[in-house]
Structure 1
């Protein structure tokens, strides 16, 4: 056996029956396997996402993930690309949806599903949502046409508003298609099961939430009343115990409507399934529990208990954020229902300290339970009510530290840029009274009452900085 070289290429010539020597065997195997393993690369480690500074007007891609909420005075956002599989388009071409739709519109829905919990819940990192929640949200796209069209127009309009663009006309077709399918289902389908199904309730809730987002509150109320009828036909809110995520969204929409309009909520019967608090059946023996009684005279026991429940929930969330753990979503639901519905049904004199504390707790809890992460919801009726109560109540009898908390709560929850004219001077005066010059000093006072850094620190720092600037201009 011999090896020869022809035009740079090796040839092996065998003229013997003897076994080839080991070196020659290795030589032959090397050339046989050449190129066989190409394409089989080891998985590389995930690269860290790169943050990009973009002007809001340049953001046109709904796969972009905002990493800080937009401020009215600053359109510069830190954004990162969502980890969307690059083959989503080709994969969608093999999927059969419930109706004939443009695949690109569904792709946006799927992309939104990857950020939905983060976008809708500022406390998402501290709440344990089931892994099946996302699956239950996506699967109906394949077999429920009303649900499919609803998800398309609500998702697209969400991104349009988030990017400060007018809602696109391309979504109107899906909106009217949803209404048509839903009307036919409710009027003509004979078995009645689909009329009161979870999916039908989800579609009606989405219509109400979309109307609320578009400031169409008459329509939102109309849809919520229709949802109330569907839930009654199902047997009440208790039939949603297995769908706590949907129940959370129903109550959030109901509570938001009540804060905006001043009307009583439609789903207050959720209180019938809970005691004074499912979290803390008895008041917590904390220093704040004694403090609120000592600082404010004549506060009712029910209001003090509600304060204590909310304070306990804040402590749990702050602990979860610090330890990077999560609480069950049912605990979020219980706290929201037991605190906010009770506060909405309490009645006190308009200029009393009880009323001021009730409104402050409502404002604070709305920022915890109702606000979205990247899009701040506005409640003009409630905001005006809270401002009016602050102006009329004898706040001089309230310790300055508590007055500071009352104003800061309004600043991070319901007050808008239009309120800065009266809020900043008042806040600055109390800061001087409390000898506050640094944000950390402000934090210490806010934490001594009730505060969630994960939700309030960023907005709180903006309010503090805005008031601090008055020291230069006064």
Structure 2
């Protein structure tokens, strides 16, 4: 045997004859070291600095929302745990319901009825007072992001969102308010006069009322702010769908609850809560022509100016009718309030918004505190027409109700009775009656009343020989107006009136 060291390497796949013998004649076999990776020594290339080529920002898939009254810090470790649990829940949910598609909340113009979707809840940690279903999440998102622009027309001009800034943290901690807000959100997904028959609307209002009833009966404490706001908002929602009697019942409950709190004076430090109560009170009182529940706090007009500087339309009306002092002061204040509202911008600030809101509320309560024409005198009844027209003016300029909501049908029906009387119309200029009918058309909901409004306007247009939309617009702008509302509404109403006028003139020519 040779003394030279050797080594046999056998093949594991081929025949044994293909084995290889390695002999170490010159000593052990030298095995090359592993190749070193990287740039060669002396290379001038350097790693790019982080500041020169920043990495693209990663869009987070989660957003942590603080629902408590105070700001809280969530450390990175806790955030990581929350994300992992959320993704785990989402993965299991997708495995169970692969075919489930979440409903997309439509815009107010798309009228899609909501039913009870049989889907699992979307609150993985059960932090909300009720089980939140996907359609509820869509409603709340739309309510806070878009519906507030209708509910708060004054605040919208200044870019203030009271729902997002103030109400949202309260809503998510109170089950009654959450149910009421969901019911109100349904008012914006379809016409309000149809949502009253929606099972979801009835479901949420009934549950909210059950919670409130249990609180009032079982609690020995004074009702909370959340309870007051829930009852006030529910009264508005029921009035919006045309349930005027239910609005009255809710307002009587609200009056007793406010009295248990010590009256509205106990809420002076909470203007938004007071504002909800005032809105619910005025909403039904204006339409029903009834005495308001909380109007005793407003004994005089906000500006109380004795220097009456009326616009051209009101001057013509005053010279013919001799307008009563309270109405004349309300006309002056309304002119200033409408001008202030038109001049609000994103830079105006919350103080201006609060001031205009207070002025509007004060004028509405002042107009609700007086009534004319009880004795049947035509001149006094003409004063009542002026009062109703001013209330319609506020509803038109500060339009804060969902599409199709019941706001002024009772008022307009009463107004029609006066304008049918020729003795009363002799005290009112033609352009004032045209302006009043225009305001009524902007607020009417009943098809029968709307047909009467447009027909009466077409008769006045023919009597006044108004042939062009510019002349029609000039007649309307003789009175206080908001250019944003008039710019979109007046051409539509003119087209509707003009079609009736052309048909009437065509029939006359045919005869």
Relative to the length of structure 2, the TM-score reads 0.70
Give the match for residue 231 of structure 2: 204
1:159 maps to 189
Pick one of 380, 392, 400 that aligns with 2:430. Answer: 400
Number of equivalenced pairs: 413
Query: 2:172 aligned with 1:148, yes or no?
Result: no
> In the aligned structure 2, how far is the partner of 1:176 from the partner of 1:297?
49
2:306 paired with 1:276: no
Deviation at 1:311, TM superposition (A): 1.5
Structure 1's 283 and 171: CA in aligned 2 closer, same or farther, altered over 3 A? same
> Are positions 1:98 and 2:129 aligned together?
yes
Partner residue in 1 for 2:474: 444
Within 2, Cα distance between the matches of 1:285 and 1:108?
A: 46
Aligned-partner Cα distance in 1 for 2:454–2:446: 12
Bigger shift: residues 156-165 or 422-431? 156-165
Structure 1 pair 416–305 and aligned structure 2 pair: CA distance change class (3 A): same
Name 2:325's counterpart in structure 1: 301
Residue 220 of structure 1 and its aligned partner are, at CA, apart by 1.6
After TM superposition, the structure 1 stretch with the greater mean CA deviation from structure 2, 153-162 or 228-237, is 153-162
Report the equivalent of 1:249: 276
Per-residue deviation, 1:151 = 2.5
1:364 is matched with 393
**CA distance 1:304–1:181, change in 2 (3 Å):** same
| Mapped pair 1:110 → 2:141 | yes
Superposition map of 1:8-157 within 5 A: 19-22=41-44, 25-26=45-46, 29=47, 40=57, 63-66=105-108, 92-94=123-125, 96-102=127-133, 104-127=135-158, 129=160, 133-156=163-186
> Post-superposition shift, 1:267?
1.1
Matched, 1:222 2:249: yes
Task: Work out whether residues 236 and 247 of structure 2, in 8 Å CA contact, stay in contact via their aligned partners in 1.
Answer: yes
Structure 1 Cα separation of the partners of residues 276 and 39 of structure 2: 83
Contact 1:123 1:454 in 2 (8 A): no
In structure 2, C-alpha distance between the alignment counterparts of 1:161 and 1:151, rounded to whole Å = 17
Query: Equivalent residue of 1:115, what SS?
Result: helix
2:405 matches 1:381: no
RMSD over equivalenced CA pairs, Å:
3.7
Superimposed CA distance per residue, residues 228-282 of structure 1 (whole angstroms, 9 cap, x where no aligned partner): 112222232233333333323322221221233332111112314xx322x4544
In 2, the alpha carbon distance for the partners of 1:410 and 1:98 equals 42
Does the 8 A contact of 1:411 with 1:460 survive in 2? no
* Contact 1:109–1:152, Cα closer than 8 Å, also in 2: yes
The structure where strand makes up a greater share of residues is 1
> C-alpha offsets along residues 52-98 of structure 1, whole Å, 9 cap, x if unaligned?
xxxxxxxx9664444xxx6xxxx899xxxxxxxxxxx9985356112
CA contact (8 A) 1:209 1:220 kept: yes
Residue 331 in structure 1 maps to residue 355 in structure 2: yes
What's the offset of the Cα at 1:388?
A: 0.7
What TM-score comes out, normalization by structure 1 length? 0.75
Instruction: Decide whether the 8 Å contact of 2:317 with 2:428 is kept in 1.
Output: no
Change (3 A) 1:280 1:92: farther
Within 1, Cα distance between the matches of 2:173 and 2:314? 56
The superposition leaves residues 273-332 of structure 1 with CA deviations (integer Å, 9 ceiling, x where unpaired) of xx322x4544453544971564433311111111111121112222337x9856733223
Deviation at 1:356, TM superposition (A): 1.6
Deviations 1:91-147 (A, max 9, x none): 853561123443542442233111232132444533564x56424322234432222
In 2, the alpha carbon distance for the partners of 1:294 and 1:225 equals 38
1:206 Cα offset (Å): 2.2
Encode CA deviations 1:209-234: one digit per residue, 9 max, x unaligned. Answer: 22212322222211111111122222
Residues 248 and 376 (structure 1 numbering): CA distance in 2 closer, same or farther, change over 3 Å?
same
- State whether structure 2 residue 459 is matched by structure 1 residue 460: no
Matched position secondary structure for 1:117: helix
Equivalent position to 1:237, from 264, 287, 302: 264
Contact 2:308-2:328 at 8 Å conserved across structures: no
Alpha-carbon separation, structure 2, partners of 1:167 and 1:208? 16
**Greater Rg by CA:** 2
Determine the structure 1 residue equivalent to 2:30.
none
**Deviations 1:167-204, CA, capped at 9 Å, x for gaps:** 442454443332232222111123x0xx4221110111
Match of 1:57 in 2: none
CA–CA separation in structure 2 for the residues paired with 1:303 and 1:233 = 35
Contact 1:356 1:389 in 2 (8 A): yes
- For 2:419, the equivalent position in structure 1 comes to 390
Query: In 1, Cα distance between the equivalents of 2:469 and 2:301?
Result: 35
